[in-house]
Each structure stands twice: as C-alpha cells, then as structure tokens.
C-alpha cells in the first residue's frame, strides 16, 4: 500500500520501473520515459515520493552512506523515507528511487516501501558469498568455452566435457556446451569436438559404445571340464584352417574313408544351458571383432581350453558327412570326440591343396557348391579386406580368393545343412537361419552385376521353424560351427549334446526366447564391426593423404558413378564429366576424409 496518494509530478513504481504521474482521473496517466506513456489503475502503481518530479532523467545514480545506515538499522524495520534520509541525507524523488533500488536488489534490505526489513550481517554475508561464487562460476565457464574454441583444454575441463562425451556415445541427445557454441547437437559433432580439443585421441573409436556393447571380456568362474566317454578320433589328420592371427579356432576338417568330418569345439561341455556363463553369452550374442581388439562373449580361458589345436588333444563335437556324387549329404554321424588338431593358415593350406586330405575334401566341397549353385545360391564375390590395428599402426589387407578358403566355407555350410536336417529328423528344437529370395533371382556376372544383386538381397533371420535360405541355396540351414563365437551356435551344441546324452531338451519356446534376445544384439554387433572397420579405414586414409588406388565402376547415375575400391573394400561416389562404362577401372586418390562423419571423398587421377 502506498504511503502517498498519486498526484501530478509524483514518483511511482510501475511493476519494477520508475514512472512519473502525469494526470489523475478515474485512472492514472504515467510517463515511462523514452516517449512511452500508459494509463493504469491506481492499484497498479505504488507512489514512492509525492514529488515534484519534473522528468525521469533526474533519477540518477547517487553516492550515499549505505554501510552506516545498514549497520545503524541492522535487524530492524524501517520505511522508505527514513532509510533514504539516513543514506543520502534527504528525501527527494532521486533519493527515493535510489533507496528503492537498494531494497529491490535485496542484499542489505528487503520488503515494501512502507515496511522495509534491514537484513542481518549473516544474511548479507551469505548472499555476498553466493553472488561471488556465481560470478566466479560464470567467469570459469566463459574461460572454459574460450579454451574450447582455442582447442587448449586443461585437465579440470574433462569433467565438464562428460556431457559432450555422453552425446558422442549416443547416451544423451542434448549438450549445453555444443548448444552454447552454436553447434548442432549430434553424436558426430560431439565426436569431432572431443577429438579436436584432445579429450579423445584422434583415433578414438566410439562405435561399439554407441551400440551399447561391452568393452571388456566377461570375468566369470569356469567350471572344471568333466571327464566323460568320448570317441577317440585322434587317428584322423584334423586341420583347423583360419586367417593368420586367428585366436579362436573352433572348427577343423579331416577325412576318414568316404566321410568328411567337421570337428567343432565342444563348448557346451563347459557352458550348460541357463548357467551363469550361458546367460552372459546370451546377453553378448557373439564375439565382437574390432580392428583394435576382440571382445569375447565367453571368458577367454574357455577359448584357451577348448579351441581346436591350442591343446595337444581337444574335446570336440564331431560331425561325419557322407556326400554323394550329386553333392547331397546322404549320411550324418554325430559324436562327442577327442581329436588331435594341426593349425594352418589359409595360405599354407592353399599350397597343399593337391595333397591328401585336402584334395579329397576339396572334391567333396566342390560337388556340394555346384549343387547349391544349381539350387539358386547367390554367386557374389565382392572385395573384402582385413583391418588390423597393432600399437597404433593400421594395416589393411585385401582378402585373397583362395581354394582353401572356399573349401572351408563350403564344409561349414555343409555341416550347418546336415545338422538342420538331423535336428528335424530327431525332433530336436534348434534355431534355423533363413533368408527370403530376392524379388528377381539371377546369376550375376561381373563386379557391377554382383554389386547390384547384393542390394536386392534380403536380410537373413533366425527362427525356430525351418525355412529356405535363398542366399545359400538350401532348404534348411542352422549355424553350427562357431560355438565359441556365436551364441546361437552354442545353443545348437547344447541341444545336440543333450540329445546325445539323453538329457532333457530345451523347448521350441525356450529356443524362441533365446533367438528374440540375441537377434537385436547380433545386429548391434554387426553394426559396431562395420562402423569400426570404416573408422580405421578412414584414419588410414587420413594418415596417408597421398594414397592412390584403383576403383571399379559398378553403378552409373547421371553425372556420378559408384566405385568399388578392392584394396580397401570400400565404395565411393565420384562426379564425372563424361560417362564411364560399367566395369571400367580408374585411378583415384584421396581428396578429403571426415573420420567423425564416416565419409571419404576421392578424386579421379588422369
């Protein structure tokens, strides 16, 4: 409530602004300065001084005895006129406004014009400390943002940048820091900032974390391996053939008379269904193969214990396959076994393809492949490359097409078909791998045709019911030969082992639950592997800006062509001035690389 009544020339408080009363009638006309005026109700204003106030410009900053007045009145109540007189020695429109400004500030005084509370020293000190802390925080924040722009962060800045890291890893969708710096709040921009300022190293790979995948191997207790009756197959020459540097050989091949044997690490002998190890493997779905490391779905000690060829004698689940001249599997033998395995690389095996047992195995797998092709299996042979990182050095090695690699691949597919049929015959629930046929199946000839055909292919699926796998040209198929690396392969082995031992089988419903749980994680693993491979390829190109290689034209659209780069197993689009025919080969060089955005631009040479 106002102490004074409104009259022309009096000083009024309108909301938080000073106003000069111009005229009083049923309403009050006030001048707000800068040529602005307003008609208001009496209750909308508080009269601070009766005047006369000739113009608002007379309300200037004044110096007074603030501390003396505050100390004199400490803890008491006062009103505007008394307080103005104590601070400034007189009560005028100017001192009234200056005094009210101090009250509105709320540090030393608070309240209304006719009832002002003088705040205690403790209250004032607490507010001053809070204000100083707030000012210091604002100054520290401004200094931090300046360091970011200068790309010169300090160790204490890392805690602030956690919010940017959360966005870069896909765990948040907002970042105050990026927003304040005027950057779009995306994982790519967050990644770019973190590498630019040195929070992350320039080669930091965020993609496994964006897929919410574990980064470390599981640390679980491994049960002791129980001795049990096994068929002794150590008389067979068994070979685990894999890429150089492979650490987890889980399958091997041998011949015994007319039978091709596929031996697979007997992981189910240690990892029982619904055990703690089984639940952990189910949550991880598969090994995560990155250029810089492998993250296992099972403790690595299991690999050291069970992988074929790492110990003199290995326990295995062995699958004997008899194949007729038409490439059909006409008999399947299945047993728990002991095998003695020799390890070979694809390259070493390729040099021995004319020797036994490789020549005999190849003859069988060649017949089997021809049968699959006759059934419409996809004939796609596009460039692949192995990407490895060791002590910061990136190596990209194109995978060469070798007879040994084709032989092993066919043998593993054969085992998968045989086990699928075996499971159906013996009513064993297992996960089947299926794939719908493309809308227009065809036999592609040449790199461009294979590239186009691959884009027509539909994704494979895991199901509890059998169905055709169009890409493989098979009526039924179950992935069987990688129980150390893929969880659903392990589930197949758990079921086969239960069947051989006469133990209860998992139901179709339980198999379906396992499929539903692992399929999304499998997708995340594949995405993380694909994006990680591209990440390191782009870093390789960024570190080798003078790189020159060959591109093969596989698609032509208007003024652009799509090139496959065999040396890198990459594809790119380049704008061209004149048409280039499909399958033509051109020299290209690096133009620009954006690691964070997973993009590289190339240029034609010559």
Q: What is the DSSP string of 397-459?
A: EEPPP-HHHHHHHHHHHHHHHHHHHHHHHTT---PEEEBPPPSS-----SHHHHHHHHHHPPP
Whether residue 51 lies inside any domain: the answer is yes
Average pLDDT, the chain: 95
Mean pLDDT of 2-31: 93
Mean pLDDT of 103-109: 94
Question: Token pair of 584, please?
Answer: 């033509």
C-alpha 406/C-alpha 408 separation (Å) is: 6
Whether residue 78 lies inside any domain: the answer is yes
* Whether 565 and 454 share a structural domain: no
* Whether 410 and 483 share a structural domain: yes
Check residue 206 and give its pLDDT.
98
User: What percentage of the chain reaches a pLDDT higher than 90?
Assistant: 91
Check residue 441 and give its pLDDT.
73
C-alpha 51/C-alpha 369 separation (Å) is: 105
Say yes or no to pLDDT of 245 above 90: no
* Whether 292 and 365 share a structural domain: yes
* Whether 401 and 415 share a structural domain: yes
* Whether 247 and 334 share a structural domain: yes
- State the residue range of the domain holding 596: 544-605
Helix residue spans in 153-249 (DSSP H) = 162-168, 176-180, 187-196, 207-210
C-alpha 183/C-alpha 535 separation (Å) is: 22
Mean pLDDT of 358-379: 96
Mean pLDDT of 387-404: 94
Instruction: State whether residue 318 is helix, strand or coil.
Output: strand
Whether residue 579 lies inside any domain: the answer is yes
* Whether 368 and 477 share a structural domain: yes
pLDDT band at residue 75 under the 50/70/90 scheme: confident
Instruction: Decide which of 536, 559, 594 is a domain's last residue.
Output: 536
Check residue 2 and give its pLDDT.
63
* Whether 392 and 494 share a structural domain: yes
Whether residue 225 lies inside any domain: the answer is no
* Whether 273 and 369 share a structural domain: yes
* Whether 460 and 529 share a structural domain: yes
End-to-end CA distance of the chain: 88
* Whether 523 and 492 share a structural domain: yes
Tell me, what CATH number does 567's domain have? 2.40.50.140
Tell me, what CATH number does 196's domain have? 1.10.10.10
Instruction: Decide which of 87, 104, 122 is a domain's last residue.
Output: 122
> How many structural domains comprise the chain?
4
Instruction: Decide which of 88, 122, 156 is a domain's last residue.
Output: 122
* Whether 514 and 560 share a structural domain: no
Whether residue 58 lies inside any domain: the answer is yes
Whether residue 486 lies inside any domain: the answer is yes
C-alpha 329/C-alpha 435 separation (Å) is: 21
Whether residue 6 lies inside any domain: the answer is no
* Whether 69 and 143 share a structural domain: no
Whether residue 208 lies inside any domain: the answer is no
């Amino acid at each position: 409530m106002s102490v004074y009544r409104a009259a022309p020339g009096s000083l009024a408080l309108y909301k938080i602004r000073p106003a000069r009363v111009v005229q009083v009638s049923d309403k009050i006309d006030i001048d707000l300065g800068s040529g602005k005026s307003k008609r208001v109700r009496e209750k909308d204003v508080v009269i601070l001084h009766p005047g006369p106030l000739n113009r608002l410009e007379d309300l200037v900053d004044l110096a007074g005895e603030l501390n003396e007045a505050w100390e004199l009145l400490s803890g008491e109540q006062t009103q505007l006129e008394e307080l103005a007189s104590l601070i400034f020695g007189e009560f005028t429109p100017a001192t009234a406004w200056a005094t009210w400004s101090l009250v509105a500030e709320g540090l030393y005084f608070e309240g209304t014009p006719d009832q002002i509370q003088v705040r205690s020293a403790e209250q004032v000190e607490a507010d001053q400390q809070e204000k100083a802390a707030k000012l210091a925080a604002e100054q520290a924040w401004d200094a931090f943002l300046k360091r970011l722009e200068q790309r010169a962060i300090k160790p204490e800045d890392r805690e602030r940048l956690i919010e940017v890291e959360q966005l870069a890893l896909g765990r948040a969708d907002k970042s105050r820091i990026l927003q304040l710096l005027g950057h779009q709040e995306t994982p790519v921009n967050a990644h770019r900032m973190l590498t630019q300022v040195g929070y992350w190293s320039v080669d930091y790979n965020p993609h496994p974390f964006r897929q919410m995948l574990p980064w470390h191997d599981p640390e679980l207790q491994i049960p002791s391996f129980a001795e049990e009756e096994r068929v002794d197959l150590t008389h067979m020459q068994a070979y685990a053939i894999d890429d150089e540097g492979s650490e987890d050989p889980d399958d091997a091949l041998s011949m015994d008379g007319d039978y091709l044997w596929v031996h697979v690490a007997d992981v189910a002998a240690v990892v029982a269904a619904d055990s703690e190890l089984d639940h952990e493997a189910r949550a991880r779905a598969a090994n995560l193969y990155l250029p810089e490391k492998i993250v296992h779905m099972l403790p690595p000690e299991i690999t050291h214990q069970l992988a074929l060829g790492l110990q003199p004698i290995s326990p295995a689940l062995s699958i004997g396959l008899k194949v007729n001249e038409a490439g059909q599997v006409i008999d399947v033998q299945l047993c728990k076994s002991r095998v003695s395995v020799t390890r070979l690389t694809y390259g070493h095996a390729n040099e021995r393809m004319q020797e036994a047992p490789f020549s005999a195995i190849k003859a069988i797998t060649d017949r089997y492949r021809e049968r699959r092709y006759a059934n419409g299996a996809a004939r796609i042979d596009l460039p692949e490359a192995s990407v490895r990182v060791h002590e910061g050095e990136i190596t990209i090695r194109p995978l060469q097409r070798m007879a040994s690699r084709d032989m092993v691949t066919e043998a593993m597919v054969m085992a998968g078909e045989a086990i699928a049929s075996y499971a159906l015959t013996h009513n064993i629930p297992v996960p089947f791998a299926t794939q719908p046929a493309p809308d227009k199946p065809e036999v592609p000839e040449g790199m461009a045709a294979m590239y186009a055909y691959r884009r027509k292919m539909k994704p494979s699926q895991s199901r509890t019911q059998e169905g055709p796998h169009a890409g493989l040209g098979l009526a039924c198929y179950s992935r069987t030969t990688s129980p150390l690396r893929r969880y659903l392969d392990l589930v197949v082995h758990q079921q086969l082992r239960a069947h051989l031992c006469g133990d209860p089988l998992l139901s179709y419903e339980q198999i379906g639950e396992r499929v539903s749980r692992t399929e999304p994680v499998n997708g995340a693993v594949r995405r993380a592997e694909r994006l990680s491979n591209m990440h390191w390829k782009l870093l390789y190109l960024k570190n080798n800006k003078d790189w020159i290689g060959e591109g093969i034209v596989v698609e032509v659209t208007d003024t652009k062509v799509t090139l496959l780069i065999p040396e890198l197993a990459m594809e790119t689009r380049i704008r061209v001035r004149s048409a280039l025919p499909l399958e033509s080969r051109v020299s290209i060089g690096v133009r620009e690389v954006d690691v964070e955005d997973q993009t590289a631009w190339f240029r034609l040479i010559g």
